[in-house]
Structure 1
Amino acid sequence: SRFAPETWTRIGEHHFEQNELPQAIDAYQRVLAFRDSPYFDKALYKLAWTYYRNDQYDDAIARFRQLIEYSDERAAKTGQAGSDLRAEAIQYLAISLQEEDWDGDGLPDTDAGFQRVLSNVSGEKAYDVEILRAVADIFFDNAKYQEAIDTIRHLLATFPNHPENPELHARMVTAYERLQQFDRAFAERDNLAQSYGPDSAWYAANRNKPKALDAARELMEDALIQAATYHHSRAQQLRADAQKGDAAAEDEAIRSYRLAAVAYENYLKQFPKSENAYELNFFYAECLYYSFRFLEAANQYGVVRDSRLGDKYKEPAAFSAILAHEKSVRKLIADGRLPTKPSLTGADTSEFERTEVADEDNDGTVREIEPEPIQEPVVDLIGAMETYIGADLKGPEDKGRLPTIAYKTGEIYFDYKHFDEARKWFSWLIKKYPKEQVAGYAAGKIIETYRQAHDWENMAAWAAIIEEAGLEAGADDIARLKTGALFKKAEKLLDAERWDEAAAEFIRLVDENPGNRYADAALNNAAVAYEKSRRFESATNTYERLYRTYPDSVHAENALYRVGINAERFYDFEKAIGTLMQLVQQYPKSENRAEALFSAAVLQEQTQDYREAAQNYERYAQLFPEREDTPDTFYRAGRVYEKLGDTRNQIRIYETFIRQYGNDPKHNGLVVESIAKMAEIFDKQGRQRDAVRTWQRVIDEFNRRGMQPGTFEARYPAEAQFRLIELEFDQYKALKLRGSVKQQGKTIQEMQRRLKDLQRRYAEVIPYKSFDWTLAAFYRLGHIYQLFAEALYDAPIPESFTPEEEDVYRTTLEDIALPIEDEAVKSYEVAIEKAREFKVTNEWTKRIVQALNKYKPSDYPLFKEEKRLPAEMPMTPQRLVAIPEPPPPAEEITVDDEEGGAEDAPAPEEDSK
């Protein structure tokens, strides 16, 4: 029936009003079968609303969504408005989502709030933005600020170009403020201020929506001002805390000034014609200054100073521009990008110029002073000063600010030798402000310009100005400058290398003016001139006069040092040592103290005063522990104790060296050498167990420190390895063939076994690539074959043998010995070839040649000597070839005669190394 939709709708209304919600739901659902009925959207809305009333939130949300989509579909088809109930559906869908207790237990659900919103509104539907905005408004209105913030943040991320985003963003800032999370509020305000400007994607997407753009612009302007003033105020407070001693506050203050500067800069770019622009521009400059962006600050101060928008900040901006340029210039000087000048670094040069040594000549010739180029940053600084002066500005609290700036302007020109400009400014200052103290300073600078130009006439004229200015720099100072001229005259002779004349002038200056303030410097220069002309005795006498007459002079300790050096030069070692040690004792802060002590110790060592030398090397290490040469100098004490034969102190030095300096890899070589030296001491003292232990320590330390073969230091583990093997070699060498055939056979077998072992062990020396000990190992590899062959040749014939048996036995031994002897020769020849390849000669090459001469006298005559490089040269790994694999020893001999064994014999003298 056509009346059915209306009828069921009215039935539903009746049940709804009677709070009979299930019956109402049933009635409304029946209407949905009539989609084209005018009651369809009303029944659908009421069904969703009834579900909401009945706490069936999922069903309510679904029906509200169905109504929204029905309305949008109808509007799309007809071109007219959809359902009148669409806005209410959006609103009540949002209300359903913000409800906290869906399960009816009287408590908020675990997924209540933004989490529930996120679960039900994905953002995939176009109308989801309306739902989210409605939810955000409800959260905000119900003081659920965190949920509102989360929802808005989700909205901005999901729909980044929605026209109403700036207002939403502003509401999020307000929500943070309501939560009293002010830092986050201002952070979001910064974000708002930067997110909707002309360069943003949002702006591009909404360029045809002037209302949205105007609203955003208004919000951004307020946000930028708020952000800038917040960061600026916070920076000022942090700076005040830092000035009270809070170290952590300083960095945070700088950071806040930088944030404020960014906000001010963005504001001025976007709103240059705002009524706030003038004042905020000054604040912008201030923040740049206090965030150490001095050059940018100077430029912005200049903008405010020259602005026609106001004059409130004209003087402070003009003065601050000078300060900012000064800071920028000083930073460039500190970075080495500008030359250092007193006027630029803040050095106090306002007093009358008091040079330590005047540099005028008294020949009456006025000289031209070449101006130095003034770099652009300094030109800008001068420009800022001249602009301040030209505007005739007055400091509100410092009435002397303008005269001081004028003086500083002239001072910069003075430092760059632009004397005409400097005099112009100094003269203007004296004329304009004669009562100011800086006027007197300016007069002193003018005098100095004429002094440097040797213009004595003008210098005298300006002396009167000094007096009128009230400076206490009259006759005494002029006399000092004239005395300085005498010094300079002598100095010019020194520069011209006219040594004798220069020395005579310096001595005359001292003799004629004993109270002269330059006397000690003059004596020093006279001595230097005598040294240059090789008049060392006169130089020494002058240096002695200097440190005796002026013991407190800054030159006294150097004079004492030079006396010692010159005494050494003339072989007066006793005087040299005494003088150098006097310097060490009397001048503990002398820069020559270390060199003096070291030189004295060296001289004591050279004059064989070993005990004193060693003690002074040790003293050097105590007094100068941080010097780079201290470890080597301390080690040198051990070598001197070695010359004394004082093994106890020698070992003490070595162990102390290892303990104090051994952790530094650059001393690895001396550490290993120290251990090797101790092993040598133990060996010479017959303490074989200690020697063996220490040789092994040499090897272990070399390997532990990762030291490389082929280096100079590799000789120590190579020697240690060789010495350890030599103990086994001595046992091998002691074996002799004696007794019966069976006894001799056992000895031969023992020699074969030991030969194999010695081949392997001596080969372990080779990888260290040390010339001396590689050749020693090569020699031994041949020598062990030679000893084996000689033992066979020298074997006694058992007494029980008949002459025929003797011949057979002798022939058998010779047949065995010959190939062994050949192997000895081959090993020797390999060794001698390596020695010749590396041009090395030492005791081992001589032994090798002696051994080869025995077998091949014509090829290896004993008188033949070849030029060799020093054996100490480290072996380069690229040129060192691997040792040839030694051939296997002769076949073992087995005999069944009488029992016997090897007999030990003392090692020959030749091999007792």
Structure 2
Amino acid sequence: MRDIVQEYHREAQKTKDVKTYALARDIYKEYLDNFPKSEHAYSMRFFYAEILWALQDYENAAINYELVVKADPKGKYSVTAAYDRVLAYEKMVEIMEKGQKSETLKEGKVDEKKSKGAVKRVEKFIKLEKGKTYEQKEIPKIELELAKACDEFTQLAPNHKEFFAVKFKAATIYYKYNHFDEASKRFGEFIEKFPDNKFALGAADMILNSYEIKEDWASLFFWANKFIKIKPLASQKDPAEKNKLYQAHLQEIVEGSAFNIIIDMQKKGKVLDAAVAFRDYVDKYPQAKHTDKALNNAHVLFAEAKYMDKAIESASLLIDKFQKSEFYEPTFYKLGYYYEKIADFQNASKYYEIYFDKLKKKTKEAGDAIYNSALFREATGDLKGAINNYQIYIKAFPTNKDITQVQMKIAKIYDEMKDYEKAKAIYKGIISKPKDVSMSDMIEAQYEIAMIYKKLGQVPAYEKELQTLLKMAEKIKKGDANEKTFYYIANARFLLTESAFKSYMSLKLQLPEGTMRKQLKEKTEKLDKLVKEYTAILQMGQGDVGIAALCRIGMIYQDFTRTLLDAPIPKNLNDEQREIYVAELQNMAFPVEEKAIEAYEKSIAKSYELTLYNEYSKIAQERLDGYKPGSYPDLPETKYVAKEYFYGQLFYPSLIAKVEEPVKKEVKPEEKKEEKKEQKKEGSEVKSEEGTPSEGGEEKTEPQENEKTPEE
């Protein structure tokens, strides 16, 4: 049968007749079906496949070429069969793409020895478009078989002259249907074998393009880093930029993908890890396009992770090395904030001032900076520097709503420096502009003027200014005042009782009896007036002043009791009369004493209710202990602070540092550091990053006499 089929095959080659070829084909098939493992089956199958090709039965030709290779991969015809299998599937793909059906020749002539041609070269590279999504698509069966045929050929014949074309064909099929990992593996093998081939750059670009579009930064970094080490590839000229080597393009991709790998790390909430990675990036790629951005992100993330020392180091390096960076100027502000957080107020002031000076446009953040620097100058005792910065703020932002409060700050510093005339001049200037200044600010300024006269010992002027304040208060309309304003009004009224209170306390009973009766009547009338006034003050609802008013009521009643009990006894009374006289005074005194105790108890109760403790709380406590030792719990230890120091000062929320380039936010640092200690300046507030005022007040020493007043 072998001889017969070979004879028919030779006859077909002579006549080139399709029908003779078809007869030879059928005899080949019958032989192979009956003798699949004969010693001649290998060559017979190859010739059978050749006839199938000649008859344009490409599918069966491809199947039998594959069987030839499997029968003996090292056989005489195996490499040819493997290559022809690729050509057969390529023919089938071509027919499919044309929308035609594959049909075997039925008649006509066939030239079996005509060349089958070569694998078609890729005419242009596939370019993916940014912004589009490239999901994997199912590869049509014929093209998948073509890709498999290509792979098996390149494995069988790695040194074949058509290796590069076949390998490229397989990679392109996978790439065409968005199977980028499979495509990259084949393009990569091609590049390693033919790094200086004209298609190598295109293959490399297709790999890099696919992972860039997918934002698979780790894979992009891997391939770019790999290509940069292949010198024949990297040393070629970049097709996109003729004056540059491809190596420069690869280096940019390495640096960019490394940067974005860290961005992904930060998105997953690994804040500290990302901060460390950005800082390491700067050392590894000091000349990279993204180095300044990496350094900016490093210090911002270190600060977020509460590693202020590392944030300061990274920010300082940025302003030292990257003066032309877009992050240069904002970093001075952030440095000021970082130093603020570790309570280094001198450096905080320094960098806030530099930031302000460097900005040509005076933005809101610039205002925050110079304002905060003024606060910190004040906190560190540089009062002249604080005044200077407050004045700069006023000049730069004359229309800001807090200008009056800033002027008030300057006046209070002059007050602290005992330059009372300058302080007074500022306060008077505020009061002189009723159309531009709120009633609450005018009352505060008026109150401070009164306090200056008190410090100067000018009591008449002091009381006059307080009276003026109360007249101003009569003009207050709904919405004109805040709690601080009502405190000033209540305390002014309280302070104006001082002369009457001292007069009352100094009035003692003296003989003769006529004089004593007049004095008792006078003291009783003064008591009634003072109690009425303090009760009215209490009803104003200002807790701090209310505690003082209650205590004063107790002091008044207690003094009246003591006055009665210490009253002189007329000399003309006998012993029995003296005894009756003293008993009668005691009967008069004890009900008044009960009122004193009640007032003290109410004063302390109000302190506990409001958790507000001042010098009058202590006086009330001490007086009650005198009546009932140990019956009342000790008040919390506290330094007394004038209430006005606790009222908020207008401020801007500071510039919050933002990580650049797509960054989201599970902070999981390797170790925890001690939480930062919030440092607060007593008596001032900072325009803080968090937008929350930090309140404080001046230390208050305990009063030496019971007659101390709340503002002291």
Q: TM-score by structure 1 length?
A: 0.40
Higher helix share: 1
Could you say which structure has the greater relative contact order, defined with CA pairs below 8 angstroms and 6 or more residues apart? 2
Q: TM-score by structure 2 length?
A: 0.50
